[in-house]
Amino acid sequence: MTTISPAITPELRAWIVAQAESGFPPEEVLAAMRTSGWPEEVAIEALEVTLTEHLQAKGKPVPGRSLPEPSLEESTTRLMADGHEVRVLMAMALPRVVVFGGLLTEAECDQLVALSRQRLVRSETVVNETGGSEVNTARTSEGMFFTRGENPLCQRIEKRIGALLNWPVQNGEGLQVLRYRPGAEYKPHHDYFDPVHSGTPTILSRGGQRVGTLVIYLNTPEKGGGTTFPDVGLEVAPVKGNAVFFSYHSPHPSTKTLHGGAPVIEGEKWVATKWLREREFI
């Protein structure tokens, strides 16, 4: 029998804030939610997200959640990742965005495209109500997924990404390769899974929340195809071998990680996307 977890509603979030402001410690609020029938994993997620937002709104410090993050001490412009030199082209605090140069070599880009070309199908998006996926008009690309560590090239790239972002390889989803033909785009969206949706607990059971995204450009389109961040007016140019990384400390728009793939005007755009989870992805 399938158990459907209750949705994390605005009313629940307001109740959690009210309990916090009344002086009840989080463990007592969690116990009350469990008594009311909330699955523990969903209750913990609701508490974490709601109390984080509440502290941010009050201008108070938020206990740090571990996030993938490159080692950018002293404003370094070059990093070594598993023996491969990567350039730091841009870094932004809010949203947390870092643009890397030369993450993959031209040969690695070409090989990844060649391995994926015959497996492309119309891209799908997550169905929030069920945790499944479906074709959506907001996403007009073609794509495929490699399983993590599926071949030596994926293993090498995943190990490099783990070293670059200081994040365990096992906490990453498999690489997804996408092709955008002329006119194709991905309208602005968030990559985290919103706890308000009934299908989110099913998704989170495979490795927790997404906490970071890395988009690697496998070619340079003739025109268009940039990665946009509408909340801050940023657009990252799609240059072969380069990549854009962004992280999100909570599943909330306050992270300003709303992003999209601008329409390709001429040529094609090929990208590889790596999503990073809180825990081991299974």
pLDDT computed for residue 2 by the predictor = 45
> In Å, what is the CA distance from 123 to each residue of 72, 126, 136, 187?
34, 10, 8, 13
3-class secondary structure, 205: coil
Per-residue pLDDT of the chain (282 residues; tens, 9 = 90+): 444 556 678 888 889 989 888 888 777 888 888 898 888 778 887 887 788 777 655 545 455 568 999 999 888 999 999 999 999 999 999 999 999 999 999 999 999 999 999 999 977 665 555 545 555 665 678 999 999 999 999 999 999 999 999 999 999 999 999 999 999 999 999 999 988 888 888 899 999 999 999 999 999 999 999 999 999 999 999 999 999 999 998 888 989 999 999 999 999 999 999 999 999 999
The answer to whether 252 touches 211, Cβ cutoff 8 Å, is no
Q: Please name every residue paired with 48 in a beta bridge, in sequence order, or none if there are none.
A: none
The answer to whether 172 touches 158, Cβ cutoff 8 Å, is yes
pLDDT computed for residue 3 by the predictor = 47
Q: Specify the pTM.
A: 0.76
Rg for the chain, CA atoms, rounded? 20
Distance CA 223, CA 225 (A): 7
